[in-house]
Amino acid sequence: MIDLQGFSVAVDADPARLILDHVDLQVGRGARVGIVGESGCGKSTLLRGLTGLPGAGLHVADGALSVAGYDLVGMPAAERRALLGKVVAMVPQGVALSLTPHRDIASHFADVFQLDDARGDVPGRAASLLDEVGLRGAAMVGRFPHELSGGEQQRVLIALGLARDPDVLLLDEPTSALDVGVAHDILGLIEDEHRARGFTLVCVSHDLGVIRRVAEHVVVMNAGRVVEQGPLERVTAHPTNPFTVRLLEAAPTLGAISTAPSNRSPLVRVDRLTVVRSSASSGAFRSQTQRTTTALDDVTFEVRKGEILGVIGESGSGKSTFLKSLCGLLEVSSGSLTLGDEVDLSVRVRRRPGSVLQRIQMVFQNPDDSLNPAHTVRRVLSAGRPRSEVDDDQLAELLRTVGLQRSMLDRRSPQLSGGEKQRVAIARALAQRPELLLLDEVTSALDVTVQAEVLDTLRAIHRDLGTTMVFVSHDIAVVASMAERIVVLRNGRLVEVGEVADVLDRPNDHYTSMLVELARRR
């Protein structure tokens, strides 16, 4: 079904720069193939290349491509368009960027059905496909993307990919932004659809657990080349390439558990904390109504001085709400948040004195949203300080703390890799010498090797500086490798808190048991 011979993709502005470097790949009908590798290795470019469209600013420089017997690169654009979704369909990575926010779900399906010149009963056909992927189709077709959860959006994209019954289905990071329970359900859906329809599946993921679940054959990429491929069990059990060995060693497992002592005095006391959030609920051109949601409900626990506290839970459990309440970005509805013995953290950020703002710093999930692309790293790290007080030697030492070189000072965020951006964001927080560092899903978008490097950086900071950290993640294996204690949230309520080993080996709540069981299967 797929035959790549010496397939190369180059940059338009610099034809000598190859994103894919003479890739050979053959995939049989109905096979399930997983592609793994670091960010920037060419995984997503390879997927796009299989549609005959490698991406903006790129072109096919060499080699041959055949998908289901078609040369999608060499054929006219109109012919290729007629085959997209039918011969080969792609489910892209960013669900939020793949659905048009001002159009309802039915209109997205109308675009796909139009390729067959047979719109017919669009809502009915769309509802049938949505039912197939586990959604209530009749209720879903009139809704808008922002009214759906992340898991629901992902199911809609899969249904759109299946709408023309493709021979080959391409999945780009299908679970990267989903919590472990929702990801488990999505992978089960993919398995069910493959059994029912028999399409050839190619799945790209930085998560080896995903590849183990959906693939039978694995392709390992590094720097635009295939460095190893073969049956999944053979490659994962007996890798022959050093890069594959490094990837496998970097993957987090529940076997790596932090055992540092946590018998310390409280730094933050959380007492019956309740946060009610308001939002406007509407579709396009509808009247807006105000809706309230209890994001945190009567939560009580403490953050101990000098510890790393892990907070886990599914999307909507209240993890990020807790962090935003700590740093004053959300208003506390009732209960109390106290720093030390004297500082009331229920006060919003605008009313907090500078000394309190400096004591608590937050690193957000996506550095692209929190680093100004026009600013150099030097300016990012010296923000809020008079120019006369900015010393390059001090900034270089700060970069060294997070494992970066002095030469980074003159770079801007678009010139940095994902891992480098996240380290700069951590360095910016450390520039204030905080007493409490809040980390919101800081590794969720990183491949396993970069994730391991960022986690090592955080461990070194904790070891050398003794900074108290609250580490939020949906990945319990990552949390277990970092934290001394774990807080488990679900639907805004505290369901469990305790030492890592106790929570993993003797969970008190059935939801915690489910998270641990899913993590052990990976």
Q: What is the pLDDT of residue 173?
A: 87
Q: What is the largest CA-CA distance in the chain?
A: 72
Comparing 56-60, 178-182, 302-306, which segment has the lowest mean pLDDT? 178-182
Nearest by Cα to 68 from 200, 188, 197, 184: 200
Cα 320 from chain centroid (whole Å): 14
Q: What is the pLDDT of residue 244?
A: 93
Give the mean model confidence (pLDDT) for residues 477-491: 91
Q: What is the pLDDT of residues 133-185, one digit of tens each?
A: 989 889 899 999 888 877 888 899 999 999 999 999 999 988 876 777 788 88
Q: Is the pLDDT of residue 102 over 50?
A: yes
Q: Where are the beta strands (DSSP E) in 28-140?
A: 32-37, 58-67, 88-91
> Tokens 């009749």 belong to which residue?
138
Q: What is the pLDDT of residues 317-373, one digit of tens each?
A: 889 899 999 999 998 999 999 998 789 999 899 999 888 998 999 998 878 888 999
3-state DSSP of 184-204: HHHHHHHHHHHHHHCCEEEEE
Residues 75, 78, 155, 232, Cα dihedral to 10°: 0
Q: What is the pLDDT of residue 284?
A: 45
| pLDDT range class, residue 285, cuts 50, 70, 90 | very low
Distances from the Cα of 364 to the Cα of 83, 135, 183, 382, 428, angstroms: 41, 31, 22, 18, 11
Burial class (CB in 10 A: 0-12, 13-18, 19+), 115: middle
Helix intervals (H) in 279-383: 319-326, 354-359, 367-370, 377-381
Q: What is the pLDDT of residues 7-44, one digit of tens each?
A: 999 999 899 989 999 999 999 999 999 999 987 788 98
Q: Which domains does the chain carry?
A: 2-249 (3.40.50.300), 266-521 (3.40.50.300)
3-state DSSP of 359-382: HEEEECCCHHHHCCCCCEHHHHHC
Name the 3-class secondary structure at 212: helix
Q: What is the pLDDT of residue 282?
A: 47
Q: Is the overall model pTM greater than 0.95, yes or no?
A: no
Contact 514, 496 (CB under 8 A): no
Q: What is the pLDDT of residues 362-403, one digit of tens each?
A: 998 878 888 999 999 999 998 877 776 778 898 998 898 888
